[in-house]
Amino acid sequence: MVLHANNLVKRFGGIVAVNNVSLKINGGEVVGLIGPNGSGKTTLINLVSGFYKPDGGRIVFEGIDITKKEPYERVKLGIARTFQIPRLISNMTALQNVAYAIVGSKRFREKKMTLEEALSEAIYYLDIVGLLRKRDVLVKDLPLYEQRLLELARALATNPRFIMVDEVMAGLNPVEADNVAKLVQRLREEFKLTILWVEHVLRIIMRSVERVLVMNEGKIIAEGLPHEVVKNPVVVKAYIGEEVVL
């Protein structure tokens, strides 16, 4: 098992954003996480990535208790993430944005790499996501679609085994969303990744994941195969509103 979260709780004042959430993710799985806005999906990602410290519960990654570990330590263990709203360094080029993820990685220190070597390696990741030609463009000049790709490249550069992809299709048109979905699938196969994928675009995510978790009001209300989950009356009532034809 790659990730095991047990009874995770996160409160913001009187609001319980994540309420006793437990989940298990096996190696090589692509797990979808869906739910209405404010259901606690991104908070869960923030808890696993170390952005937030849980008020209760435990997170174990590949047998190591990471509940109290800092975000940078979790990255070095092999956990990476993307952000719902791209958080890139806008004054840096695409290449530099991938390079700092390499500079912060475990192998940078172990292999005694130089900054130039990190920049060279960053080219490889940019090429994988199709941004090689944009390597010298400042991030603030990139459209949203390319910023999303760049986020994926940056996450890959940390050499992860587990990636949390947070609404990577938000704001993209159907063609771009399709391309991103295909890319995520390809990355999973090429890099042997385990993926937790938060998404609202149901028609695409239902085709792309093996298992779906549904969150509502901080709790996991349903779990199962995509075609089962979309027919679950609790899920239909809380989130979908009508059945999805896959």
Partner 1 sequence: MVIRVEARRGRLIIHVLNKWRFAWNVEPRYWRNPLIVAILWICLPLLILLMPRGLPIGPTTLLSALFLANVVSISAIAHAFQTIGTGRLNFGPNFFVVVGGYVAALLNKNYGLGPALTFLAAFGITALVGLALSPLTIISRGLYFTLITMILPFIMHELVYWRVDIFGAETGIPGITRLIAVESMMDYYIICFYISLAIALILLFIVDKIFRSRWGFMLGVINEDEDVAASFGIETKKIKVTIFTLTSGVMGISGWLIAHYYGSFAGTLWLDPWLLIFILLSSVIGGKSAIYGSVLGAYFVVLARDMLRPFIGGLALLGLYAVLLVTLYLLPEGLWGLYRKPRYREYVPRIYVRRKL
- Contacts with partner 1 by CB under 8 A lie at 49-51, 70-72, 75-76, 81, 87-93, 96, 99-101, 103-106, 108, 114-115, 118, 136, 138, 154, 158
Select 168 or 181, whichever has its Cβ closest to partner 1. Answer: 168
Query: Least distance in Å: CB of 231 to partner 1?
Result: 37
Select 154 or 188, whichever has its Cβ closest to partner 1. Answer: 154
d(Cα 202, Cα 244) in Å, to the nearest integer?
Answer: 8
Query: Least distance in Å: CB of 31 to partner 1?
Result: 20
For residue 47, count CB atoms less than 10 angstroms from its CB and return exposed for 0-12, middle for 13-18, buried for 19 or more: buried
Q: 131 with 96: CB under 8 angstroms?
A: no
d(Cα 102, Cα 117) in Å, to the nearest integer?
Answer: 9
State how far Cα 201 lies from the chain centre: 15
Q: Is the dihedral of CA 46, 71, 190, 125 positive or negative?
A: positive
Query: Least distance in Å: CB of 109 to partner 1?
Result: 9
Select 116 or 242, whichever has its Cβ closest to partner 1. Answer: 116
Select 16 or 132, whichever has its Cβ closest to partner 1. Answer: 132
Residue at 100: amino acid letter: Y
Query: Least distance in Å: CB of 47 to partner 1?
Result: 13
218, two tokens? 């901080």
3-state helix, strand, coil in the chain (%, to 5): 40, 25, 35
Query: Least distance in Å: CB of 172 to partner 1?
Result: 21
Select 40 or 160, whichever has its Cβ closest to partner 1. Answer: 160
